[in-house]
Structure 1
Amino acid sequence: MTIRVGERIPHATLTRIRDGVDVVTSEELFDDRKVVLFAVPGAFTPTCSEQHLPGFIQHMAQFRERGVEVACMAVNDAFVMDAWARAQDVPDDLVMLADGNADLTRALGLELDGSGFGMGLRSQRFALYAEDGTVKILQVEAPGEFRVSSAEAMLQALDAR
């Protein structure tokens, strides 16, 4: 079942890429913080690499001004996420998360079966905003679309709160 606004981010363990890799829990990422988490179906894929991640990189200052941390997640391994972060010149304060076993993706109920495209289990494209571990905004893309989970859409949603 898909997580809903008003629910807490479920427990999961992820790999954070920051000066190497370390294991981090969802509680460590979300508790006592304001966080936008956006998820992509895959690192190095066209929309993810050409629009989704670059949009958040471009607008990081606007999230900082609002006191909001930003994290990018994909069902990829930590080595792929690290290479993608370097290739995209991701700033240090944009947290890159590898959900290699799709633990958080499945716990959120936002998995995608990409088997028809040779990708296996992936995350749907989405963005959420959480305060102190509770979802306040959830924007999930329709299949094949990229509108509601963009950096610009999330900034608009934050300003509308």
Structure 2
Amino acid sequence: MLNRVILIGRLTRDPELRYTPAGVAVTQFTLAVDRPFSNNQGQREADFIPVVTWRQLAETCANYLRKGRLAAVEGRIQVRSYDNNEGRRVYVTEVIADNVRFLESANSGNRDEGMGMGAGSGGDGGGYRGGYGGGRSQQQDPFQDDGKPIDISDDDLPF
């Protein structure tokens, strides 16, 4: 069996950071993900998907993600239920993220910054395992086309 989700979308509001009574950080935010088709009026619709992150990943998301930012989320779908104040059972479907990649920075507009972080495999997010990419303006792209032919032998190709 497999329960894996990968989403790319924009945050609808700033992440909300809270701590459990045991002191574990948990962040919730909603990701707006465009549907791959248009409605009858030719407009694109979106789904608004709740996302939950735990521990170090939660604190990092709360510190660096903001409303409107583009992010990629990888995780699993979880359905939980609770009884509300009126005694009715309420079902909540959400994505428990174990990897979040920031696809743009605060001052980059729509440029891909490549900053990402994730948590190890664990029931609720595990520990922090990711690092920061970024630094694109400080390093030259090794795959940039500089007009020179690429010298590569057939032995170097993996296929």
TM-score, L = length of structure 1? 0.30
- For the pair shown, the structure with the greater C-alpha radius of gyration is 2
More helix by share: 1
More strand by share: 2
- Ranked by relative contact order (alpha carbons within 8 Å, sequence separation 6 or more), the top structure is 1
